[in-house]
Amino acid sequence: MAPENWIERIRDPKMECMSRDEMAVLQGKKLVNLVERVYNNVDFYNKKMKDLGVEPGDIRGIEDISKLPFTTKEDLRNNYPFGLLAVPKSEVARVQGTSGTTGKLTLMSYTQHDADVWGECVARCLSMAGLTKEDMIHVCYGYGLFTGGMGLDLGARALGAMAIPMSAGNTKRQIMCMEDFGATAFACTPSYALYLAESMRDAGVVDKMKIKAGIHGAEPWTEEMRHKIEDILHINCFDIYGLCEISGPGVAQDCIHHAGLHIHHDYFYPEVLKPGTGEAVAEGELGELVFTTLSKEAMPLLRYRTKDLTTITYDTCECGRTSPRISKFKGRTDDMKVIRGVNVFPTQVETALLGMGGSVASHYLMVVDRKDNLDRLTVLVEVDESLFSDEIRKLDELKNKVGAVLKQALGIAVNVKLVEPKTIERSEGKAKRVIDKRDLV
């Protein structure tokens, strides 16, 4: 929970607190303009819409969005690098991208207006975290084509705060600069935030820090992990969400009440749909998050399937914002592993392990393989240094306890392997939680 003296900040009350009816009218106008632009300027969407028998005149408001075609990551790859541009290439101010499975990037283009909107959205998120132009934001997301570092940098600039562009790597140097510069907030993946927090604690410098907020995203994480980071550093942590295809970090974030991530719905229209059928789910029901970029100029997307699994709610938040809120992600449709007929997500393992208190450390690795045509799940779990013992009986008792907790959480039997502290590889970017050896044979 936020400290009692935490200042509630809303950067743009007009947009963030607009009534749903007024927002629907605004979204509808933007959608009509968007559809007209992509139909006339992007061959891909022109063909997609014609194949569905849809013309721009059929879209009269936001309620008609279900008539429009979906866009997938495969579509982006097939049109790499500039096949989906809705503006001349001369109007593209920058590109950002992520690595793809084929060796080619998933590349997105931005006009200057797109970059300005991106910075504004991140600035709104930073305001949700109580930050102002007086703050110093230590950015240890990677810079370059990856959107993390640049997104937080643009947001800090839009807010008027000082950005400290450290990028990723060199943990000792990160900690030294946080202390020396007097950083009041830091931004990175949650797994690296936990690693930084543990490193600060081990170095005995937590009390020397001026950090009051952590901005973390780019991978699914649990409330248990958030509480662990907060408990070590005595700060408030926030879950920022975004993806390169839509704009990068800043699409949504939770406020001080941590009751879901507020989507900036004047820029990004969300739908939560059943992964198999594409039908809308009921409010509060789990489904795949789909976005339409209402204001993007260079490379706007219609109904982009994110593969992120979440729920959505539309009631007004305690903070006063009327924007729809999505829950922390259970995972992704492509992160889910089906093991002996059971759907298993890494976040389920994380929640179960962190719920055991100090029995085990919070670092784990799932290994899925197959023997005699039967799937097996092995979970490597670090034993906390204070509890690690050479006594076989005590280790066996702990192993059995972890196995029972995971079986209860996942619904399947799990092979547990206890490993010594700091033997599971740490990541300064996105943590690798699953190795599926079935995919390698």
Of the candidates 273, 300, 333, which is a domain's last residue?
Answer: 333
Q: What is the DSSP string of 66-86?
A: GGSPPB-HHHHHHTTTTTT-S
What CATH number is given to the structural domain containing 90? 3.40.50.12780
Q: Is the dihedral of CA 211, 215, 217, 218 positive or negative?
A: negative
- Residue 285 structure tokens: 């029901």
Mean residue pLDDT of the chain comes to: 91
23 shares a domain with 154: yes
Quote the CA–CA distance of 80 and 105 in Å, as a whole number. 8
167 forms beta bridges with: none
347 shares a domain with 323: no
Residues of the chain above pLDDT 70, percent: 93
Task: Look at the pTM and tell me if it is higher than 0.85.
Answer: no
80 shares a domain with 179: yes
pLDDT in tens, 343-368: 787 888 888 888 887 778 778 999 99
pLDDT in tens, 109-155: 999 999 999 999 999 999 999 999 999 999 999 898 889 999 999 99
Non-local (6+) Cβ contacts of 251 within 8 A are: 121, 241, 242, 243, 263, 264, 268, 291
Mean pLDDT, residues 22-40 taken together: 98
Cα dist. 144→63, 126, 192, 258, 432 in Å?
Answer: 38, 21, 18, 30, 21
190 shares a domain with 103: yes
Of the candidates 307, 333, 359, which is a domain's last residue?
Answer: 333
List, in sequence order, every beta strand (DSSP E) within 333-430. 337-339, 342-344, 364-371, 374-382, 415-419
171 shares a domain with 105: yes
Work out the angle at residue 152's Cα, subtended by the Cα atoms of residues 193 and 2, and round it to the nearest 5 degrees: 55
Domain that holds residue 143: 1-333
294 shares a domain with 190: yes
368 shares a domain with 290: no
**Residue 46: DSSP 8-state:** H
Asked if 183 and 164 count as a contact pair (C-beta separation under 8 A), the reply is yes
Quote the CA–CA distance of 243 and 148 in Å, as a whole number. 9
188 shares a domain with 44: yes
Asked if 213 and 237 count as a contact pair (C-beta separation under 8 A), the reply is yes
Mean pLDDT, residues 419-424 taken together: 87
**Total domain count, the chain:** 2
Least confident stretch, 183-192, 218-227, 351-360, 386-395: 386-395
pLDDT in tens, 393-403: 788 889 999 99
User: Would you state the pLDDT for residue 390?
Assistant: 60
Quote the CA–CA distance of 386 and 31 in Å, as a whole number. 57
Residue 304 binned pLDDT confidence (cut-offs 50, 70, 90): very high
Of the candidates 310, 333, 356, which is a domain's last residue?
Answer: 333
Asked if 379 and 329 count as a contact pair (C-beta separation under 8 A), the reply is no
- Residue 394 structure tokens: 């005590």
pLDDT of 431 strictly over 80: no
What is the four-CA torsion angle of 190, 196, 197, 198, rounded to 10 degrees? 110
User: Would you state the pLDDT for residue 103?
Assistant: 60
61 shares a domain with 184: yes
Radius of gyration of the chain (CA): 22
Non-local (6+) Cβ contacts of 309 within 8 A are: 275, 286, 287, 288, 289, 329, 330, 331, 332, 333, 336
User: Would you state the pLDDT for residue 441?
Assistant: 43
Quote the CA–CA distance of 321 and 309 in Å, as a whole number. 23
305 shares a domain with 274: yes
pLDDT in tens, 202-213: 999 999 999 999
What CATH number is given to the structural domain containing 405? 3.30.300.30
327 shares a domain with 241: yes
Quote the CA–CA distance of 339 and 87 in Å, as a whole number. 45
163 shares a domain with 101: yes
